[in-house]
Amino acid sequence: MPSNPSDTDLAVPECARCVKAQLKCGGCRGLSFIQYNGHRAATPGTDVSDISQAAPIIGSKTTAHSVVVPRKNEIIPTQIGKQYLTLGSMDDVYASYAMNHLLHESEEVVVNPDINRTLTNKCFVALSTTIFGIDKKEPHVLQHGLYRYGTALKALNRALSDPRESRSFDVLEAITVMAVFEMIAGNREDGWIEHARGLERLLDFRGPTSMQPLPCLALFEKARPSMIFAALVTRKTTILSSTLWKGLPWLQYPERKNPLQLLLDIVADCPELFVLREDIFGKGEGLPRNSALISLLEMAQKVLNDLETWENCWSSTELDQYDLVPAPAATTPMRSGYGRSSEPVWDTVFEFHSLYHASTLTLFHGTLILLLLLIHGLQLALRDPEGHSPEPGPVPIRIHESGILICRSVDYHLDKLRNIASSSILFPIRMAYEAVGKSDEVLGLWLMFQLRHISSSSSGRWAMARHVLRLNPVSNITSDRLIRDYSN
């Protein structure tokens, strides 16, 4: 750099990489990062090569202490380590692009700079390179990202085989990053499931108290949904249903147990219900099976009661969650009316005030559908020859209303597809398909189209969306069967 400041316009760096990444220019690359060493901020102009360990949790800042800037719509991002930020490399462009287009709404958790993040850096470089290649339609960049993924995966597997290294924060964070990779770019239907189940085995090995430090807790909170849903579709129990795993990780930060985390506590109780159901229906009919079905029905009713209690608390405290806006003509499903005219299936859609509110409300309704269909199936199995159930079944309109509410939330999520938190809509869409898609051809086709859009359109982000409808059904009792039963 010239000694005379007037010789160079620092506001317009010659690299022009911000133009390629379609980002707002941040000035000279040497001014893009400010180091904080736990005592005072480093002076502006700190060169990238002088940064210590700038690779926080998928979105954080590095200091010597663990503090948090809480936000409701939290997600874990990551920065990139100094070893990848070389002048001759495009890795800083890829990393900046991922941070701005995938991880831009993030909680800022600070990680001790002395913590080794080498493995996480490898995984994040693979993720950011791949995202850039996909979004910019640059095959050579995409191929390079996939190659890096394979290299990072080998390094991760080596670390997992080491008893000491497998307990490190670096390994924990790296697995989380790789799980995001599988959701975005994985071409295997079960790729994200394998990562989620593998992460759960690692957590079981570490124990719930190991997740109490804030960086670990932040990762744990973000990973819970995928671990629960993986348990659901594989018909496996999950450690997350344990009282210890619902409480101990938050012992030092109880204020972080927000309504979404409390809701996930309830959702974590659902996989066991389906494990027991599979076991019961594998037995022959008779009194022992009926007794087991009654016991399971009572368990399911208890989880449903917990869910309804949560809903009452949520509704009384979160009074300002969304606005109703006119349904956009371009994305709203149409149904044939009288003559040749068509009319929208709904007139308004939800404009949520945050992705946090959208994710929480749709998760609730997806879980409600899950439980109501399960309970109805158990009641059908307990009918006597005359068709009498031990208790009245759920009202079909409740399932239908939840399915429609999820559908009316899709437009909001479509606007947020570039954000990592937008993946939270996939489970609710799957349940909406169970609730209304199988009994209503118009809505079924519309939901399938939305999943294709989410997985492969120009604004799409989540490759796993193409597999959502092929996952094992959560119940063999679907909305069309439910409607027939109650119309008889």
Q: Which of 257, 280, 314 lies at the terminal end of a domain, its last residue?
A: 257
Contact by Cβ (8 Å): 358, 423: no
Residue after which a domain boundary falls, among 257, 274, 291: 257
Question: Residue 206's Cα: distance from chain center in Å?
Answer: 22
Same domain, 113 and 182: yes
Q: Which residues contact 6 (CB under 8 A, 6 or more apart)?
A: none
**What is the residue-wise DSSP string for 249-314?**
GGSS-GGG--HHHHHHHHHTTHHHHHHHHHHHHTSPSSHHHHHHHHHHHHHHHHHHHHHHHHHHHH
State pLDDT tens for residues 210-254: 999 998 998 899 899 989 998 998 899 999 999 999 999 999 999
Cβ contact 432:362 at 8 Å: no
Same domain, 246 and 300: no
Structure tokens at 385: 């020859």
> Quick count: other Cβ atoms within 10 Å of Cβ 452?
13
- Phi and psi at residue 46, to the nearest 5°: -55, 125
Exposure string for 184-210, b = 16+ CB within 10 A, e = fewer:
bbbeeebbbbebbbbbbeebeeeebeb
Are residues 320 and 411 part of one domain? yes
Instruction: Give the chain's domain count.
Output: 2
Residues 246, 285 share a domain: no
Say if residue 128 is in the same domain as residue 168: yes
Average pLDDT on 190-204 reads 87
Query: Are residues 158 and 244 both part of a single domain?
Result: yes
**Span 67-103, pLDDT tens digits:** 333 334 333 333 333 333 433 378 888 888 887 777 6
Can you name the residues that pair with 336 across neighbouring β-strands? 342
Q: What is the pLDDT of residues 272-295, one digit of tens each?
A: 999 999 888 876 666 678 899 999
Q: Are residues 53 and 160 in the same domain?
A: yes
Tens digit of each residue's pLDDT (9 = 90 or more) over 312-350: 999 998 888 999 999 999 999 999 866 667 899 999 999
Helix-helix angle 259-267:355-381, to 10 degrees: 20
- Same domain for 428 and 482, yes or no, is yes
Same domain, 412 and 441: yes
Same domain, 251 and 273: no
Residues 278 and 228 in one domain: no
Pick the range with the lowest mean pLDDT from 22-26, 234-238, 415-419, 450-454. 22-26
Q: What is the pLDDT of residue 137?
A: 83
Residue with structure tokens 């339609």? 137
Predicted model pTM: 0.75
- Residue 41 CA to residue 29 CA, distance in Å, equals 18
Range of the domain at 321: 260-487
Residue 375: closest CA among 328, 311, 308: 308
Residue 462: count of CB within 10 angstroms of its CB: 23
Q: Which of 71-80, 145-154, 294-303 has the lowest mean pLDDT?
A: 71-80
Residues 287, 248 within the same domain? no
Where among 202, 234, 257 does a domain terminate? 257
